[in-house]
Amino acid sequence: MSAGAAIAGEVLLVGCGKMGGALLEGWLERGSAERFTVVEPAGPAPAFAGRSGIEWVADAAALAGRRPPAVIVFAVKPQVMGDVVPHYAGLLGPETVALSIAAGKTLGYFARHLGGEAKLVRAMPNTPAAIGRGITVACANRRAGAAEIARCDALLSAVGEVAWVEDEGLIDAVTAVSGSGPAYVFLLIECLAAAGAAAGLPEELATRLARATVAGAGELARRSGESAATLRRNVTSPGGTTQAALDVLMAPDGLASLLRAAVAAAARRSRELAD
């Protein structure tokens, strides 16, 4: 399937919260499928009210008797997945692939609810998908063939980069690094702004500086061919102000140690959500 080719048939999106909505926005902009149906009890979010090309239904019962979709995307929170997924087992056709973006829920979990013959893909995107700058890591079960994987890749690449892994066990670490990672960056902005205010800056200016610095540094890292370590050294003069700050951040109990502990905690929680 070429990058610009629309998926033949219907994409059924179950749940249209923050991540589901970000995906839907990207799909609509790219014309990723012939038709879109969204299952959302609350109806269209304001951002999608009046938008053409989408059918909204309240629940799976409204889909009974319809032709099986090309893709069913499960975008509800993992804590309620058990109440949702079983209602869709009867909607899968022989060519349907089920794509989950829920943290923790394994391919085996979906096979138990959807049947052993189900073609399944598990993916972990992140919230920068809302501006087309996300990154997703995905893995497929053995039932999913090249055609099903291509469909899922086309949907996920509509909102950013996509990488595939064969070892599903890596998805917990992916969740901890990139899935949860935007929250770590936003916390960095909060803390940097607060530190600037504590150093005497007006709060509004401190927040503006923190936002622009993190955004600009991230874009520089994205565009540059140099490693993050090299970019860090490029900013650092021996004995200068940056070095003084890095002596604190790079101490044994500094940022590296905190992030290792944070990622380990997130990965552990991802594993706990499996059942």
The pLDDT averaged over each successive group of 10 residues in the chain (275 residues) is: 71 93 90 92 85 91 93 94 94 96 93 96 93 95 96 94 97 95 98 98 98 97 96 96 97 97 96 82
Residues 139 and 50 in one domain: yes
Contact 140, 114 (CB under 8 A): no
Residue with tokens 């919230």: 127
215 in a structural domain: yes
Residues 58 and 124 in one domain: yes
Angle at 154 between CA 153 and CA 160, to 5 degrees: 80
3-state secondary structure of 65: coil
The predicted structure's pLDDT at residue 2:
46
Give the end of a domain, one of 151, 174, 197. Answer: 174
User: How, if at all, do strands 119-124 and 134-140 pair?
Assistant: antiparallel
Residues 252 and 192 in one domain: yes
Residue 56, C-beta contacts closer than 8 angstroms, at least 6 positions apart: 37, 38, 40, 43, 44
73/20 Cα distance (integer angstroms): 9
Count of structural domains within the chain: 2
Give the end of a domain, one of 174, 204, 219. Answer: 174
Residues 91 and 152 in one domain: yes
Residues 149 and 191 in one domain: no
pTM of the full structure:
0.89
